[in-house]
Amino acid sequence: MLKLTAISHDYGQGTVLADISLDLAPGRVLALTGPSGCGKSTLLHMAAGLVTPGAGHVSNTFRRTACVFQEPRLLPWRTARENIAFGLKALGVRGAERRSRSEALARRLGLEDALAKYPHQLSGGMRQRVALGRALAVEPDLLLLDEPFGALDAGRRAELQEMLLSLLRERGLAALLVTHDLAEAERLGDELVVLSGAPGRVLERRATQKRL
Amino acid sequence: MGGIRHGTAHGTGQGAARRTWQKLWPGAVGLLGFFALWQVGALTTDPIILPSPGATAKALVRLAADGRVAGAALATALHTLGGFGLAAAAGGLFGLAAGLSATVRRMLAPVVTIVQGVPQIAWIVLALLWFGPSSAATPIFTVAVGVLPVIFAAVVSGISTAERPLIEMARTYQTPKALLLTDIYLPHLISYLFPAVTAGLGIGWKVAVMAELMAGADRGVGAGLARARTNLEVADAFAWIAIIVVMMFGLEYLVLHPLRRWLEPWRAGEGEGGRRRAEADRD
C-alpha cells in the first residue's frame, strides 16, 4: 500500500501542493493528471523518496518500488544491456544472473537487437524501453511513472502504452502514473485523480473508462 | 518493430570505407592547400626568409643524421611530460578537494586566478632565477605551472557537475557508494578530463619549447631553435618547428585518441548518432 496523507509542499516560491491525500493498493493503477505546475511530479518524487514533503506523511509498504522518469536517464557509457541490469547491480545480483535476467526482459520489450548498443545509438522510443526494462528488472511490485512517454511522438507513444498495459497486467503491478495526457490516463489507469492548478488540490477521483 | 535495424551502409565494409573517405577528404584537401601555399610562397620569396617544404625536409634529414633530433625530441618530451605529470598530480589533488568541498573551492579560487594571471614568460624568468639555465627543472616547472589551472578546472567541474538526474535515478535503486563511484562519477569525470588533458599537453609542448629557448638550455627542441636563430639557419628553424608539430600530433593521434577509444568505447560514432537515430525513426 502506498499512502500519502495530508501532503502540503512549498519549494520556497509559494505553495505547490495543498493538503493532498492519496492511496494506492497492490495491483492497482492510479493515474494522476492536472495542469503543469500542479505538483503532480513532486507527489511522485515524494512517493519515490526523492523529495521530503513539507507537511504530511508518506508511507510505502510495497516490497520494492522502481521509477521511470520522463527522460530515460540512461548511463551514456553503458550498453542497453548494462543499463537494464543497473538496478540488479545495485542490489548485488551476480553478473551471470544479471545478464540472463536483463536479456529475458529485453526480449519481452523487443530490445534483443539493441542490447550491445549505447544509448546514443538508440531512438527515443528504444531508450525509454530500456529505462522501463531497468525498472522492471528489479521485479518491483510498485512502478512510479513520471510522464514516461511524454517526449515521444504519437505513434511510439501508443505502442509503448500498449506494451506497458500488458506488462502491468501480466505482472500484477501497482503503478502511479503521472501524465498530462487525459487519454493516456483513461487508457492505462484503473482510477483517475485530477489535480487543480497551483497550489495542487484533488479536484476529483473517479474510476476510468478502462474499468467501465 | 523494424526500428531496431539501421541503415545498411553502416554494416558493410564498402560503406564504412566510403564514410571514412567522406570524413577524411576535407582535411586532406586543407593539408594539400597548406603545402601548396607554402611552396608558392617559397618560390616567390628569398629562401632566407621562407625556405620551401623540400628545403625544410632536407634540413630535417640533415639534423636527424647528425643525431641531434632524437636527443632534442626526447629532452623536450621529458620536459613536457614531466611538467604535465606534476600538474596532473597537483591539479587532480586540489581539484578533487575543491570539487568535493565548496569551502575549499572558494579558498582556492583566488589562488588559481593569481597563478593564471602571471604571464608564462614571467614564470620562465622566475624558474631561470631559481633553477638556473641548464637545469631540466626550469622547463619542467614552467610547464607544470602553465598546465596546472587547466587540469584543476576540469577536475573541479567534472566532480561538481556530476549529473543530478543520473544520481537521482541511482538513488531510487538504493545504489551503494562504490557503484556510484565506478558507474557514474568516474565515467563522468573521465569525459571531462580528456579534453583538458589534450589542451594541457598542447600548452605543455609550447611552453616547454619556449622555456628551453628563453633559458638558453643546451638540450631540447627549443635549444635547437635558439641555435638556428643564432646561425640564421632559417631552414633549420623550420625543421625544428616541424619536429614539435609532428610530436604534438603523434601524441594526440597515436596515444591520446586510442586511449580514449579504450577508456570510452561508448563514444565511438557518437557524432553519427543523430543520423542513425533519424534512420531508425523512419523505418
CB contacts of B165 in chain A (<8 Å) are 69, 71, 73
Task: Identify the pLDDT of residue B15.
Answer: 80
| pTM of structure | 0.73
User: Per-residue pLDDT for B162 more than 90?
Assistant: no
Q: In the predicted model, what is the mean pLDDT of residues B190-216?
A: 90
Relative to beta strand A29-33, strand A174-178 is: parallel
For residues B73 and B7, membership in a common domain is answered with: no
For residues B216 and B150, membership in a common domain is answered with: yes
For residues B37 and B95, membership in a common domain is answered with: no
Q: In the predicted model, what is the mean pLDDT of residues B185-192?
A: 87
Q: In the predicted model, what is the mean pLDDT of residues B54-79?
A: 93
Task: Judge whether A87 is closer than 8 Å to chain B, CB to CB.
Answer: yes
For residues B73 and B180, membership in a common domain is answered with: yes
Provide the ipTM.
0.90
pLDDT above 90 covers a percentage of chain B that reads: 54
* Mean confidence (pLDDT) of chain B: 86
For residues B224 and B103, membership in a common domain is answered with: yes
CB contacts of B1 in chain A (<8 Å) are 110, 159
Task: Identify the pLDDT of residue A192.
Answer: 93
**8 A C-beta contact, residue B225 and residue B240:** yes
Task: Identify the pLDDT of residue A211.
Answer: 56
Q: Where are the alpha helices (DSSP H) in chain B?
A: 13-44, 53-65, 68-100, 102-117, 120-131, 137-160, 164-172, 177-180, 186-215, 221-230, 234-250, 257-263, 273-282
B53 Cα to chain A: minimum distance (Å): 43
User: Per-residue pLDDT for B159 more than 70?
Assistant: yes
- Which of A173, A177, A170 is closest to A141 using CA atoms? A173
Number of domains chain B contains: 2
Domain extent, residue B89, equals 53-282
**8 A C-beta contact, residue A110 and residue B1:** yes
Among chain B residues, the shortest Cα distance to A144 is held by B172
CB contacts of B174 in chain A (<8 Å) are 90-91
B187, A77: Cβ pair inside 8 Å? yes
B1, A110: Cβ pair inside 8 Å? yes
For residues B220 and B248, membership in a common domain is answered with: yes
Residues of chain A falling short of pLDDT 70: 211-212
Task: Identify the pLDDT of residue B9.
Answer: 41
For residues B27 and B123, membership in a common domain is answered with: no
User: Per-residue confidence at B12, pLDDT binned at 50, 70, 90?
Assistant: low
pLDDT above 70 covers a percentage of chain B that reads: 90
Question: In a mutagenesis test of the B interface, which of A74, A120, A143 is the best target, namely the one with the most B β-carbons within 10 Å?
Answer: A120
Q: In the predicted model, what is the mean pLDDT of residues B277-282?
A: 37
Q: Give the pLDDT confidence of B72-102 residue by residue, as tens digits.
A: 999 999 999 999 999 999 999 999 899 888 8
